[in-house]
A and B are shown apart, each in its own frame.
Chain A
Amino acid sequence: MRLQYPTDVRVIQLPCSGRVDILHLLKAFEDGADGVYVAGCMEGDCHFLTGNYKARRKVEYVKKVLDSLGIEPERIEMYNMSSAEGPRFAQVANEFTERIRELGPSPVAADQAA
């Protein structure tokens, strides 16, 4: 399909979005990620039945943690898409990158001016 999406999106593959852990998501922010999104399967289509629902709940948990820390909760999001939806993957990557660009760099990022 040769679809284009921003080069600053780093894809980390997991066997199921349900494997995502709160700690994985927080570690990304600790290491300076400006934003993190989880791309899970369509709701109701999880091969393991509820993996994507669990991922969504973990994303919601991390949103609350970020809020408590004074970091915009919009920097983390859960998206659902089918593995047959290449264009949707690229669209979400573009959308989310645009959202983060508007928010600016993470206040945690090491290269930020003090």
Chain B
Amino acid sequence: MIVGDTKPLEEILAMIEGRPKVLVLGCRGCVTVCNVGGEKEVGILATALRIARKKNRQEPSIDEMTLERQCDPEYIEELAEVAENYDAIVSIACGVGPQFVAERYPGVAVFPGINTTFIGGALEHGVWAERCQSCGNCLVHNFGGLCPIARCSKSLMNGPCGGSAGGNCEISPDVPCVWDQIVKKMEAMGRLEELERVWPDKNWLTARDGGPRQRVREDLKQ
């Protein structure tokens, strides 16, 4: 899922200053699963903003709404009748949400209420970790199912480097060295010799280095 993190309340309050009618807009997709932008979090953020407004003796007109997804135009369309009523929409979806909403409703000021952090998964309830960097050319099967692009600090294809010590990365003792894990995993699987393969420079054109990406499925296109 796409994992996000809350923005400081002070930052959001500064965004909506001088904008009386505000809609806090959640998303039932990834950000609901990582507890940062779903219906519950819409309630918490909207309540906190209303408390701030009431404290400053301002009209606490902060409404709440949560869409099925904010990355599909058909769900953004649900705002059609109400969007123009607001001076600001604070989208707490991933970075896609505020852009889709802003594009569809150009007359309304749209603000991002969360920071989109990474593509990852939940290690346990309340703990998420990065697992994918969407490089556009998945190779994890060559590394025992562990991604050296997303999980090595240097994205090394031929690791480990000299900074690996005691199973940890040199950037922090809290960051495991994925290359240490890859070697141990491949050894346990009896596939250690596969790591003798030397990987040439990765073609990053499939990643962000090739510019903004778009995917077209001709069979699905209308």
Contacts and interface: CB of A to CB of B under 8 A. Distances in A.
A22 B44 contact: yes
Contacts, number: 37
B47 A69 contact: no
Contacts of A22: 44
Nearest to B126: A57
Contacts of A103: none
B10 A68 contact: yes
Interface stretch (A10-18, A26-34, A89-97): A26-34
A114 interface: yes
A23 B43 CA distance: 7
B40 interface: yes
A107 B47 contact: no
A69 B43 contact: no
Classify chain A's interface size.
10 to 19
Contact of A65 (B40, B48, B50): B48
Given A23-B40, A23-B47, A68 B55 contact: no
Interface in A67-99: 68-71
A49 interface: no
B9 A65 contact: yes
Contact of A26 (B10, B48, B55, B57): B48
Given A71-B55, A108-B55, A26 B47 contact: yes
A108 B48 contact: no
The 5 closest A-B CB pairs, nearest first, are A68-B9, A26-B47, A107-B55, A108-B54, A114-B57
Interface of A: 22-23, 26-27, 29-30, 65, 68-71, 107-108, 110, 114
Given A70-B55, A108-B54, 9 more contacts: A22-B44, A29-B51, A30-B47, A65-B44, A68-B9, A69-B52, A71-B55, A107-B55, A108-B55
